[in-house]
Amino acid sequence: MSGIFTSEGTTSGTDADAPASDAPYRVLGCAVEHPNHVFPVRTPFNHRSFDALHRAGVGLDVVSPTPFAPPVGPYSEYRHVPETERWGSYRVHYPRFLYALPKRYLYQVSGDSAQKRVTRYVEETFETPHDVVQVCGLYLDGYAMLPYCRRHDVPMVAISHAGDLKNFDRFNEGVRERIRETIDYCSAVLTVSDELAGIARQFAPAERVRTLPIGENPDLYPTERRAAVRRELGFDSETEVLLYVGRFEKEKGVRELAAALDALDRDDVAVAAVGHGGALRWWFLDRLGELRHSAHAYWELDPIALRRLFVAADLLVHPSHDEARPTVIYEAMAAKLPVLASNVGGIPEMVVDGETGVLVPPYDPDALRASMAELLDEPERLRAMGEAGHRRLLDQEWTWSAHAEKLSAVHREVMRE
């Protein structure tokens, strides 16, 4: 089965399926966590990174290793993942591998299967070798590509968004050995925050670690139509809209958020919560339904609709327990939306406390409620913070085009070594 999908879910032609013959160099990209039409909103930043790189003129082939689907059960929907489909400017290939369960004990088996099957698929499908391999995680992505890189003497560049490194001690020893092996081969380990770069330097030489932020494209957010967008979504001019976007799970602070909203003594508030996974989905939705405030819950919202909510909202609330640099904060900055977030991980690198938003301690619903109440009492301050965040996004070059330019510079550097 094959589909043709763009990043916004609309159809497109196939003129960019193959790397351009005049591309300056060719990249093989690998991301287990890549969207497909079964899981269309999964880790969109991996897709956007590849898409920006390809639109910058770099030749690109992409594989997204996908587990074999069992005949029944919660993972049987993987059988609907196609063999290939178009995403944005490029085509994705989904070679199958064995994903062994339980993960706690058998995750190393999954990596070994991915190595064997993905390398064979790449050599049978694409013109090889590529000039550089770009992976979106150290494990499984990077480990899966090690045999290909070694066989063809191709450099590997890995981007870490936190999971591999921050969760290193939670993996069994077999997985830890495979992560170390991958890092040892990498020519560059890129992290999305300075805080995460500090962790990466515990595993790799400092000269091979650097911060490469992701970002967002402000042109996609219709901020000039904010009043009209709010009317279309049913929010009147007197309503203060609080937006949460993320997984409905305890690590994202949804328990603290529910408690803070329940204690927020206001009649002019509406809550918009957008989820895409998480074990607390139904618990959180039940709590939202019990609020005195109007609450709107959305599940796996497509990017265009999500951007409209960012434009319509008055404050993004992100009370996560730990983060690198969350994509939702870049999206808020692009939409001129101020941020109320936990002061954890790489978030303080993004949000200037008191200038582009407010930072509060994690695990503290009382502090979260107090900050929400204070900010909602000062709408002019909120608007000024949103404008300041937007300027910071542009000043720091936290856009996808700038990301692609910096990533390409890293590729050229490792290709010369």
The structure tokens listed for 400 are 């996808």
Which amino acid appears at position 384 of this protein? Answer: A
Q: Which residues pair with 212 in a beta bridge?
A: none
CA–CA distance from 18 to each of 21, 44, 130, 307 (Å)? 9, 21, 13, 30
Q: Strand, coil or helix: what is 95?
A: coil
* pLDDT at res. 15: 44
* pLDDT at res. 248: 97
* pLDDT at res. 2: 34
Q: Confirm if 85 and 4 have CB atoms less than 8 A apart.
A: yes
| pLDDT above 90 (res 10) | no
Q: Strand, coil or helix: what is 86?
A: strand
* pLDDT at res. 246: 96
| pLDDT above 70 (res 7) | no
CA–CA distance from 348 to each of 166, 168, 299 (Å)? 18, 23, 28
- Determine the Cα–Cα distance for residues 1 and 10; give it in Å rounded to an integer: 17
| pLDDT above 50 (res 5) | no
The average confidence (pLDDT) of the chain is: 93
The closest alpha carbon to 307, from 90, 62, 48, belongs to 48
Residue 23's pLDDT band (cuts 50, 70, 90) = confident
* pLDDT at res. 417: 82
- The tens digit of pLDDT for each residue in 218-262 reads 999 999 999 999 999 999 999 999 999 999 999 999 999 999 999
- Determine the Cα–Cα distance for residues 41 and 302; give it in Å rounded to an integer: 7
Residue 253 neighbours by CB distance under 10 Å: 26
Residue 141's pLDDT band (cuts 50, 70, 90) = very high
The structure tokens listed for 117 are 């099957």
Residue 353's pLDDT band (cuts 50, 70, 90) = very high
| pLDDT above 70 (res 21) | no
Find the helix or strand (DSSP H, E) in which 392 lies. helix 379-395
- The tens digit of pLDDT for each residue in 143-202 reads 999 999 999 999 999 999 888 899 999 999 999 999 999 999 999 999 999 999 999 999
Residue 118's pLDDT band (cuts 50, 70, 90) = very high
Residue 415's pLDDT band (cuts 50, 70, 90) = very high
DSSP state of 89: T
Q: Which residues pair with 97 in a beta bridge?
A: 67
Write down the pTM of the prediction.
Answer: 0.92
Cα distance from N-terminal residue to C-terminal residue, the chain: 41
Find the helix or strand (DSSP H, E) in which 365 lies. helix 365-376
Please state the φ and ψ torsions of residue 268, each to the nearest 5 degrees. -110, 25
* Domain architecture of the chain: domains with CATH: 2-214+399-416 (3.40.50.2000), 218-395 (3.40.50.2000)
- pLDDT above 90 covers a percentage of the chain that reads 90
- Determine the Cα–Cα distance for residues 232 and 227; give it in Å rounded to an integer: 9
* pLDDT at res. 19: 53
- Determine the Cα–Cα distance for residues 111 and 174; give it in Å rounded to an integer: 10
Q: How far is CA 266 from the centre of its chain?
A: 33
- The tens digit of pLDDT for each residue in 71-83 reads 998 889 999 999 9
Tokens 């595993």 belong to residue: 203
* pLDDT at res. 163: 82
- The tens digit of pLDDT for each residue in 374-394 reads 999 999 999 999 999 999 999
Mean pLDDT, rounded, for 284-296: 95
| Packed helices 327-334 and 379-395: angle between N→C axes, nearest 10 degrees | 110
Q: How far is CA 142 from the centre of its chain?
A: 17
Tokens 């409209």 belong to residue: 308
* pLDDT at res. 162: 83
| pLDDT above 70 (res 123) | yes
* pLDDT at res. 14: 38
| pLDDT above 90 (res 3) | no
Handedness of CA 23, 207, 133, 45 (dihedral sign): negative
| Packed helices 254-263 and 281-289: angle between N→C axes, nearest 10 degrees | 0
- Determine the Cα–Cα distance for residues 341 and 346; give it in Å rounded to an integer: 11
- Determine the Cα–Cα distance for residues 195 and 211; give it in Å rounded to an integer: 9
